[in-house]
Amino acid sequence: MSADTQKQAAGLAAIDHIESGMKVGLGTGSTAAWFVKAVADAVRDGLKLTLVSTSNQTTHLAQSLGLEIKDINDVGKLDVCVDGADEIGSGLALIKGGGGALLREKLIWEMADRCIVIADAAKHVATLGAFALPIEVEPFAYKGTINRICDVLSEFDIAKLPVLRKKGGESFVTDGGNLIFDVPCGAILDPSGLASALKATTGVVDHGLFLDLADVALIGTDSGVDILHP
Protein backbone atom coordinates (compact mmCIF):
# COMPACT_ATOMS: atom_id res chain seq x y z
CA MET A 1 0.00 0.00 0.00
CA SER A 2 1.39 3.45 -0.81
CA ALA A 3 2.13 6.05 1.83
CA ASP A 4 -0.67 8.16 0.41
CA THR A 5 -3.18 5.33 0.81
CA GLN A 6 -2.03 4.92 4.42
CA LYS A 7 -2.40 8.68 4.98
CA GLN A 8 -5.90 8.52 3.53
CA ALA A 9 -6.82 5.61 5.83
CA ALA A 10 -5.57 7.52 8.91
CA GLY A 11 -7.22 10.80 7.85
CA LEU A 12 -10.58 9.17 7.21
CA ALA A 13 -10.41 7.12 10.46
CA ALA A 14 -10.11 10.33 12.47
CA ILE A 15 -13.65 11.37 11.52
CA ASP A 16 -14.93 8.61 13.86
CA HIS A 17 -13.57 10.70 16.76
CA ILE A 18 -15.64 13.75 15.79
CA GLU A 19 -19.15 14.39 17.10
CA SER A 20 -21.72 17.00 16.16
CA GLY A 21 -21.32 20.22 18.17
CA MET A 22 -17.56 19.91 18.56
CA LYS A 23 -15.02 22.69 18.08
CA VAL A 24 -12.33 21.18 15.88
CA GLY A 25 -8.80 22.26 14.91
CA LEU A 26 -7.80 21.30 11.37
CA GLY A 27 -4.12 20.37 10.92
CA THR A 28 -1.81 21.02 8.00
CA GLY A 29 -0.22 18.77 5.37
CA SER A 30 -1.06 15.93 3.04
CA THR A 31 -2.44 13.65 5.78
CA ALA A 32 -4.48 16.38 7.45
CA ALA A 33 -5.90 17.19 4.00
CA TRP A 34 -7.61 13.77 3.98
CA PHE A 35 -9.19 14.61 7.33
CA VAL A 36 -10.35 18.01 6.03
CA LYS A 37 -12.02 16.23 3.10
CA ALA A 38 -13.70 13.80 5.50
CA VAL A 39 -14.92 16.74 7.59
CA ALA A 40 -16.34 18.41 4.47
CA ASP A 41 -18.26 15.22 3.63
CA ALA A 42 -19.52 14.88 7.21
CA VAL A 43 -20.67 18.53 7.34
CA ARG A 44 -22.43 18.05 4.02
CA ASP A 45 -24.20 15.08 5.64
CA GLY A 46 -25.40 17.28 8.51
CA LEU A 47 -22.65 17.24 11.19
CA LYS A 48 -22.51 20.63 12.95
CA LEU A 49 -18.94 21.70 13.69
CA THR A 50 -17.05 24.86 14.58
CA LEU A 51 -13.75 24.76 12.69
CA VAL A 52 -10.44 26.56 13.07
CA SER A 53 -7.35 26.08 10.95
CA THR A 54 -3.61 25.75 11.59
CA SER A 55 -2.43 27.39 8.35
CA ASN A 56 -3.40 29.48 5.35
CA GLN A 57 -2.97 26.33 3.24
CA THR A 58 -5.56 24.43 5.27
CA THR A 59 -7.89 27.42 5.37
CA HIS A 60 -7.82 27.60 1.57
CA LEU A 61 -8.45 23.87 1.23
CA ALA A 62 -11.30 23.93 3.75
CA GLN A 63 -12.95 26.95 2.14
CA SER A 64 -12.60 25.39 -1.32
CA LEU A 65 -14.60 22.44 0.05
CA GLY A 66 -17.33 24.77 1.33
CA LEU A 67 -16.28 24.78 5.01
CA GLU A 68 -16.38 27.89 7.15
CA ILE A 69 -13.21 28.60 9.15
CA LYS A 70 -13.60 30.66 12.31
CA ASP A 71 -11.04 32.94 13.94
CA ILE A 72 -9.48 31.03 16.85
CA ASN A 73 -9.81 34.14 19.03
CA ASP A 74 -13.59 33.99 18.57
CA VAL A 75 -13.75 30.28 19.39
CA GLY A 76 -11.50 29.75 22.41
CA LYS A 77 -10.99 26.25 23.74
CA LEU A 78 -11.28 23.38 21.26
CA ASP A 79 -12.61 19.88 21.82
CA VAL A 80 -10.15 18.25 19.48
CA CYS A 81 -7.38 18.93 16.99
CA VAL A 82 -6.47 16.47 14.22
CA ASP A 83 -3.10 16.91 12.53
CA GLY A 84 -0.27 15.07 10.80
CA ALA A 85 3.35 14.62 11.89
CA ASP A 86 6.77 14.11 10.36
CA GLU A 87 7.90 11.63 13.02
CA ILE A 88 6.09 9.88 15.86
CA GLY A 89 8.41 8.53 18.52
CA SER A 90 8.09 6.88 21.87
CA GLY A 91 5.34 8.28 24.12
CA LEU A 92 3.89 9.99 21.05
CA ALA A 93 6.68 12.57 21.07
CA LEU A 94 6.56 14.21 17.65
CA ILE A 95 8.54 16.17 15.12
CA LYS A 96 6.29 18.51 13.15
CA GLY A 97 6.80 21.47 10.84
CA GLY A 98 7.83 19.78 7.60
CA GLY A 99 5.24 22.00 5.92
CA GLY A 100 6.33 25.07 7.89
CA ALA A 101 3.13 25.36 9.95
CA LEU A 102 4.56 24.34 13.32
CA LEU A 103 3.88 27.57 15.25
CA ARG A 104 0.21 27.91 14.37
CA GLU A 105 -0.18 24.15 14.77
CA LYS A 106 1.29 24.28 18.28
CA LEU A 107 -0.90 27.28 19.17
CA ILE A 108 -4.00 25.34 18.11
CA TRP A 109 -2.88 22.05 19.71
CA GLU A 110 -2.35 23.84 23.03
CA MET A 111 -5.98 25.01 22.93
CA ALA A 112 -7.44 21.55 22.30
CA ASP A 113 -8.68 19.14 24.98
CA ARG A 114 -7.61 16.22 22.81
CA CYS A 115 -4.98 16.01 20.07
CA ILE A 116 -5.17 13.26 17.49
CA VAL A 117 -2.13 12.70 15.27
CA ILE A 118 -2.64 10.96 11.94
CA ALA A 119 0.15 9.52 9.81
CA ASP A 120 1.37 6.80 7.48
CA ALA A 121 3.34 3.91 8.97
CA ALA A 122 6.79 5.22 7.96
CA LYS A 123 6.35 8.14 10.37
CA HIS A 124 6.41 5.83 13.39
CA VAL A 125 10.04 5.66 14.56
CA ALA A 126 11.98 4.30 17.54
CA THR A 127 13.98 7.52 18.05
CA LEU A 128 13.19 11.02 16.81
CA GLY A 129 15.68 12.87 14.64
CA ALA A 130 16.10 11.22 11.24
CA PHE A 131 13.72 13.93 9.99
CA ALA A 132 15.43 17.32 10.20
CA LEU A 133 14.04 19.32 13.14
CA PRO A 134 12.38 22.55 11.96
CA ILE A 135 13.06 25.65 14.06
CA GLU A 136 11.04 28.83 13.45
CA VAL A 137 13.16 31.95 13.83
CA GLU A 138 12.41 35.69 13.92
CA PRO A 139 14.02 37.12 10.75
CA PHE A 140 15.51 40.19 12.50
CA ALA A 141 19.14 39.46 13.51
CA TYR A 142 18.67 35.81 12.58
CA LYS A 143 22.42 35.22 12.25
CA GLY A 144 22.87 35.87 15.97
CA THR A 145 19.96 33.52 16.69
CA ILE A 146 21.58 30.80 14.60
CA ASN A 147 24.81 31.15 16.58
CA ARG A 148 22.82 30.72 19.80
CA ILE A 149 21.00 27.70 18.32
CA CYS A 150 24.38 26.15 17.43
CA ASP A 151 25.52 26.63 21.03
CA VAL A 152 22.38 24.83 22.22
CA LEU A 153 22.89 22.01 19.74
CA SER A 154 26.48 21.48 20.85
CA GLU A 155 25.27 21.21 24.48
CA PHE A 156 23.24 18.24 23.27
CA ASP A 157 26.16 16.78 21.26
CA ILE A 158 24.43 17.61 17.98
CA ALA A 159 27.23 18.72 15.66
CA LYS A 160 24.98 19.75 12.79
CA LEU A 161 24.34 23.18 11.28
CA PRO A 162 20.84 24.62 10.88
CA VAL A 163 19.92 24.90 7.19
CA LEU A 164 17.78 27.84 6.02
CA ARG A 165 14.65 26.43 4.36
CA LYS A 166 14.15 27.69 0.81
CA LYS A 167 11.21 27.57 -1.55
CA GLY A 168 11.53 28.43 -5.24
CA GLY A 169 15.04 29.80 -4.62
CA GLU A 170 13.83 32.23 -1.92
CA SER A 171 13.80 31.90 1.86
CA PHE A 172 10.66 30.08 2.95
CA VAL A 173 8.48 32.44 5.02
CA THR A 174 5.89 31.06 7.46
CA ASP A 175 2.30 32.29 7.76
CA GLY A 176 3.55 34.38 10.70
CA GLY A 177 6.35 35.97 8.64
CA ASN A 178 9.23 34.00 10.16
CA LEU A 179 12.10 31.89 8.77
CA ILE A 180 12.52 28.15 9.21
CA PHE A 181 15.89 26.51 9.84
CA ASP A 182 16.03 22.71 9.58
CA VAL A 183 18.51 20.82 11.73
CA PRO A 184 19.47 17.29 10.62
CA CYS A 185 19.98 16.29 14.26
CA GLY A 186 20.28 12.52 13.93
CA ALA A 187 19.05 10.63 16.99
CA ILE A 188 17.62 13.11 19.51
CA LEU A 189 18.45 11.43 22.81
CA ASP A 190 16.97 14.11 25.10
CA PRO A 191 13.96 15.61 23.28
CA SER A 192 12.61 17.26 26.41
CA GLY A 193 15.92 18.97 27.30
CA LEU A 194 16.47 20.09 23.70
CA ALA A 195 12.90 21.42 23.44
CA SER A 196 13.30 23.50 26.62
CA ALA A 197 16.72 24.84 25.60
CA LEU A 198 15.54 25.84 22.12
CA LYS A 199 12.42 27.47 23.52
CA ALA A 200 14.60 29.54 25.87
CA THR A 201 16.81 30.80 23.01
CA THR A 202 16.26 34.45 22.10
CA GLY A 203 15.06 34.75 18.51
CA VAL A 204 13.60 31.24 18.38
CA VAL A 205 9.86 31.60 17.94
CA ASP A 206 9.19 27.87 18.33
CA HIS A 207 10.44 24.46 17.26
CA GLY A 208 8.95 21.31 15.81
CA LEU A 209 9.23 19.11 18.90
CA PHE A 210 5.67 18.43 20.10
CA LEU A 211 6.07 16.66 23.45
CA ASP A 212 3.29 15.54 25.80
CA LEU A 213 0.69 16.98 23.44
CA ALA A 214 -0.64 14.05 21.38
CA ASP A 215 -3.33 11.95 23.09
CA VAL A 216 -3.70 9.32 20.41
CA ALA A 217 -2.10 8.41 17.08
CA LEU A 218 -3.96 6.82 14.19
CA ILE A 219 -1.36 5.15 11.98
CA GLY A 220 -2.38 3.97 8.52
CA THR A 221 -0.79 0.61 7.71
CA ASP A 222 -1.10 -1.93 4.92
CA SER A 223 -3.72 -3.80 6.94
CA GLY A 224 -5.77 -0.96 8.43
CA VAL A 225 -5.28 1.71 11.07
CA ASP A 226 -3.27 1.13 14.25
CA ILE A 227 -4.23 3.13 17.32
CA LEU A 228 -1.36 4.18 19.61
CA HIS A 229 -1.48 5.88 22.99
CA PRO A 230 1.39 7.68 24.77
Ligand X SMILES: O=C[C@H](O)[C@H](O)[C@H](O)COP(=O)(O)O
Q: How far apart are CA 204 and CA 5, in angstroms?
A: 36
For residue 68, the minimal CB distance to ligand X (Å) is: 22
Please tell me whether residue 85 binds ligand X under the rule CB under 6 A.
Answer: yes
CA distances from 124 to 84, 85, 102 (A): 12, 9, 19
Q: Is 194 exposed, middle or buried (0-12, 13-18, 19+ CB in 10 A)?
A: buried
- Number of H helices and E strands in the chain, helices first, is 7, 15
In whole angstroms, how close is the CB of 188 to ligand X at the nearest point?
Answer: 16
| 111 versus 150: smaller Cβ distance to ligand X | 111
The answer to whether 87 is a known catalytic residue is no
Q: Which of 51, 62, 102, 188 binds ligand X (CB under 6 A)?
A: 102
Beta bridge partners of 114: 80
Total of residues contacting ligand X (CB under 6 A): 18
Q: Per CB under 6 A, which region of 38-46, 62-70, 101-109, 138-146 contacts ligand X?
A: 101-109
Select 31 or 59, whichever has its Cβ closest to ligand X. 31
Cβ–Cβ < 8 Å for 55, 28: yes
Three-state SS string over 106-144 comes to: HHHHCCEEEEEEEEEHHHECCCCCCCCEEEEECCCCHHH
Helix (H, G, I), strand (E, B) or coil at 151: helix
Of 19, 68, 105, 110, which residue is the catalytic one? 105
- What is the closest distance, in whole angstroms, from the C-beta atom of residue 102 to ligand X in the complex? 5
The contact mask relative to ligand X for 34-73 (x = CB under 6 A, - = no) is ----------------------------------------
Which residues are the active-site residues?
105
Residues found near ligand X in the complex (CB under 6 A) = 27-32, 83-86, 96-102, 105
